[in-house]
A and B are shown apart, each in its own frame.
Chain A
Amino acid sequence: MIGRRQSPTNLELGVSELISALLMLLITLAIGAFIISYISDVSDRLYTLIKSDVERRNVELIKSLDVVFATGNSTNNEVKLALANGITELKVLIIYINDVPAENSSITLEPLEIRVVTLKSPIQLPRDSVFKVKVVYEGGEEVIYGYVYE
């Protein structure tokens, strides 16, 4: 029993010193690896999130669209929308009239193009009423309020 560690109760239970040393090393490695992978994972997710937002904002910075006016016609239930584009080609993804998407509203505008778009309104437009138009384009959205004249 000389040179051996003993518990106060003289019990010889447990693993050998070499195995315990290996176990301790493994536990340290496992905890370390977990901490490193956790930090890496969290920071990667944060980086990706910010990066995608930066890219989206970059597109927003380049693209420029101006909705000049919007008028409605209750007789034929049509909306006229004047759009002016900035210096780069721009794709209008969808146009909402009172938060209802209009059909065939996806258009592409050339640089510095000014165009009046006529759309069939997805909702009934009463005469002398006000309606909201939201133009969603690649890089942002624009909102304008129109008036129904006839």
Chain B
Amino acid sequence: MVMYMSRGLSGVVGLILILIALVVFASTTYNILNLMNEYMNINSMISNKQTLRSMVIHLTEGYYIYYPNGTLVINLMNGLPEPLLMTGYIILFPNGSYHIVKTEDSYIIPPLTTSKLTIGVDREPLGVFIVVLIRDEITHIVVKKGG
């Protein structure tokens, strides 16, 4: 009799333990799946950041014309369907010196438009880099020498 009861008791205790294990497993699986979902969303947003940079490289263009009177005219073409915020620019000269200008006021380049920027410089630059903000992502446009 005791043996039969003990078998039954062990069976009930075993069942309860299996149920507890199942609850623990289900709850942690749920938490992990939630976290995985968050992880996927973040990954997708990070991928979007990289896409934004790539878009800026491929869909924007800039070229400059240097005039001997020290005037540098920069033309920027925003081929993106959204605005770009210019935060500043760096002009690099052949002797390794540079000139940084941070645009205090928000200089916005509207989508699908061309903007012109005129700057006074001492000599012909080696390279001009326009630093732009697209959404929350910072990147730059390499300005080429134009004809």
Contacts and interface: CB of A to CB of B under 8 A. Distances in A.
B133 interface: yes
A129 interface: no
A68 B3 CA distance: 80
Interface residues of B, number: 46
B55 interface: no
Interface string B127-147: 101010100111110000000
A60 B46 CA distance: 8
A21 B38 contact: no
Contacts of B42: 54, 57-58, 61
B113 interface: no
A50 B40 CA distance: 11
Contact of A39 (B2, B24, B49, B94): B24
Interface stretch (A77-85, A99-107, A119-127, A130-138): A77-85
Interface of B: 2-3, 5-7, 9-10, 13-14, 17-18, 20-21, 24-25, 28-29, 31-32, 35-36, 38-39, 42-43, 45-46, 49, 87-88, 90, 92, 94, 96, 98, 100, 102, 127, 129, 131, 133, 136-140
8 contacts: A22-B6, A28-B10, A28-B14, A43-B24, A47-B32, A68-B129, A86-B138, A112-B138
